[in-house]
Structure 1
Amino acid sequence: MTHERRSLPIELRAKGRRLEGYAATFNTETRIGGEFTETIVPGAFSASLASAPDIIGLVDHDPSRVLGRTRSKTLRLAEDTRGLSFELDLPDTQAGRDVLALAERGDLGGMSFGFRAVDAPRQGDRRELRKVDLFEISVVSAWPAYPETVVQARAKEPLLPGLAHAARVLRIFEVSQ
């Protein structure tokens, strides 16, 4: 079974100890490994979300740095017209504090997601992700692929006054296991 990962420039906001934004956006073309162009179709995540799997929120796809999960309701995911939105309640752990500090400073690269393609027809050098099994989303330090997604950090009550909150763009990459 091939597992893939995609990183995206995503909108990400820090609100207290919560991050929110988009882990993926629809209808945005990106070049994957110089081999083909890929687009995520609206509804690609709906079956996976409806089946209620335990999807995990990680730092840089590292399973030893768990930030939250859908089973405990510390990670909430939904599809809307723009893409796969998320809300993530950050834990009071070193990983959670680090991610929050980087988000507030605008230093995060964006978001990524790990999946298995279920329905992803390829025609020539183009592929559409129509249905995927989603198993994780990750806050990533660098290199997203879908340039139309944006990650922002914004605190409701800034924890560190005077810090700039910036959007960062990431490149998407593919990892086969």
Structure 2
Amino acid sequence: MNEQERRFTRGPVEVRAAGESRTIGGYAAKFNALSRNLGGFVERIDPGFFAKSEGDGWPEAMARYNHDDNMLLGTTGAGTLRLAVDGTGLDYQVDVPAARADVFELVQRGDVARSSFAFYTFEDDWAMTEQGFPVRTLLSGQLVDVAPVNTPAYLDTSTGLRSLAERAGAELEEVRGAAEDGQLARFLEPKPAATVIDLKTSESGGQGDPHPLLAVRQRRAELMRRRTF
């Protein structure tokens, strides 16, 4: 999957240090917490989702106010953005530059109180919640940025629907239509289990006729016998 996605967390962004450093931070993502309804399904983030990005040293990860390229706050490369994964989620701290003192003030006053993160998904999985609602689990991906945001919003979730369509072998438009009707669960219904036949106890079809599998074996044995003569 190569489409960028964005999600926000209910955890607050806050001032971590004042004075010359002007550091703000918070949890950009929280593990195993179900999201709100994203249009027929919910999501959770697996604790291992950021493992590759972390292992690679958070390459090119940034902090941007409202995910805006023109509002860069810090980068991992310059050491002005620091990221850490713990049992709760992905925590970030960014030293806000003097040119973005307004962003620091907005966070300090509480006008900006939420965080978000942008990412690419490498691997996900689909299942059902205990309440029978479709849930997408984000298993691995790459972090693009973390961002304090004014109005947390889920953007287009078509990447998630495309993932489900590929899993179910269905057309994207069919899955999208099912999402609009609240019928995504039908793409996650378990397939009927294959019938297992025990030849030790069932060598006949129950009506006195040879079992079909036994008949195939007998036919193969007859062909092999003929080839030997």
Q: Is the 8 A contact 1:120 1:131 kept in 2?
A: yes
Match of 1:90 among 93, 96, 106: 96
Tell me the distance in 2 between the aligned counterparts of 1:9 and 1:51: 27
* RCO comparison, higher one (Cα < 8 Å, 6+): 1
Task: Mark the structure with the bigger radius of gyration.
Answer: 2
Match of 1:48 among 50, 53, 63: 53
Displacement of 1:35 = 2.4
Tell me the distance in 1 between the aligned counterparts of 2:27 and 2:74: 15
Residue of structure 2 in register with 1:129 after alignment: 138
TM-score (norm 1): 0.77
Residue of structure 1 in register with 2:35 after alignment: 30
Q: Which has the higher strand share?
A: 1
Q: Is the 8 A contact 1:5 1:174 kept in 2?
A: yes
Match of 1:173 among 154, 158, 168: 154
Counterpart AA for 2:154: F
Q: Is the 8 A contact 1:43 1:79 kept in 2?
A: no
Match of 2:148 among 119, 139, 143: 139
Identity of aligned residues (%): 33
Residue of structure 2 in register with 1:157 after alignment: none
Residue of structure 2 in register with 1:165 after alignment: none
Q: Secondary structure in 2 aligned to 1:47?
A: helix
Match of 2:26 among 8, 21, 27: 21
TM-score (norm 2): 0.60
Residue of structure 1 in register with 2:12 after alignment: 11
Unaligned runs of 5+ in 2: 129-133, 160-229
Counterpart AA for 1:101: E
Q: Which has the higher helix share?
A: 2
Displacement of 1:121 = 1.1
Displacement of 1:11 = 3.1
Tell me the distance in 2 between the aligned counterparts of 1:38 and 1:82: 16
1:129-177 CA-partner distances (Å, limit 9, x unpaired): 111111111110012xxxxxxxxxxxxxxxxxxxxxxxxxxxx513469
Unaligned runs of 5+ in 1: 144-171
Q: Secondary structure in 1 aligned to 2:118?
A: strand
Matched pairs, number = 147
Counterpart AA for 1:77: L
Q: Is the 8 A contact 1:26 1:41 kept in 2?
A: yes
